[in-house]
Amino acid sequence: HDDEELARLTSAPRCSEKLTATAAMVRLSRLSETEVLYQPLPTYITEVQADGMTEGWRHKITVWFDQLAESFKMSTETLSVATNYLDRYLSCETCGSLKFQLASVASIFLASKVEEARPFKTADFVTLSDGIFSAADLRLMELELLCTLKWHLHPPTFHTFLNLLLVLLEHDKVDTDLVGERA
């Protein structure tokens, strides 16, 4: 069944549109506007967290996200989105270690549903968490996360910026080539 699904996905159509330099410029300027909506509080660990969270916790979780991405073949974009969700949640709510873990799991679960062609199932996480969290825990946390994020689910990520900058560079290169030819 999974192979079938995979075959269906790899035969799925791709996008035929290419961004023009102008469109990339417009998107870049708009992204810096919307970025404000998606900005976590840079000092949330000291200013919001009051239940023992340290830099170490966040580091551990990002390493775990990386491992998950590797074993489940998730895109790095999804990881950036999940990290944004988690940071924004932690900018509003203080968490003890158990809730912190649940929020992390819910962030990657939510990001995979929003971004991935083959989203996670709750059962995957119940297994991954060794049964510490139930499907119901995850579902409730997901809702709490969504409300705290005010349903803003499309953060501009590092990749969004990089892709747009690459488009601009590419066009720039073409333009300079043309100028060179003419000269």
Partner 1 sequence: MQAYDVGGELGKGQWGTVFRGKRVRDGLRVAIKRVRAGDPVEGVNFQVLREIKMLKGVKHENIVELVDVVPQEEGLNMIFELMATDLEKVLYGTTPTEAEIKGYAAMLLEGLAFMHAHFALHRDIKPANLLISFEGILKLGDFGYARYLADENCHMSDQCCTLWYRPPELLFGASEYGFGIDTWSAGCVLAEVGLKHPLFRGETDLDQLAKIFQITGPPDETAWPGVSSLRKYIRFSKNDNPLTVRTLLNNARLAPDFVDLIVGLLSLDPKSRDSAVDALDRPFFTALPRPVARPPRKHL
- Side chain identity at 132, as an amino acid letter? I
Element spanning 3, H or E: helix 2-10
Binders in 27-66 for partner 1, by CB under 8 A: 27, 30, 34
Binding residue (CB under 8 A) for partner 1 from 25, 48, 92, 153: 153
- Cα 150 → chain centroid: 16
> Is there binding between residue 152 and partner 1 (CB under 8 A)?
yes
- Between 57 and 155, whose beta carbon lies closer to partner 1? 155
> Is there binding between residue 147 and partner 1 (CB under 8 A)?
yes
* Cα angle 52, 53, 55; round to 5: 135
Binding residue (CB under 8 A) for partner 1 from 122, 129, 161, 168: 122
Min separation Cβ 182 and partner 1, Å: 29
Residues whose CB is less than 8 angstroms from the CB of residue 155 and which lie 6 or more positions away in sequence, other chains included: 35, 38, 80, 81, 84, 85
Query: What does DSSP assign to residue 26?
Result: H
> Is there binding between residue 121 and partner 1 (CB under 8 A)?
yes
Six-digit token string for 134: 């139930």
Q: How far is the CA of 66 from the CAs of 15, 33, 127, in angstroms?
A: 27, 29, 18
Min separation Cβ 105 and partner 1, Å: 12
> Is there binding between residue 99 and partner 1 (CB under 8 A)?
no
List contacts with partner 1 (CB under 8 A): 9-19, 23, 26-27, 30, 34, 77, 109-110, 113-114, 117, 119, 121-123, 135, 138-139, 142-143, 146-147, 151-154, 163
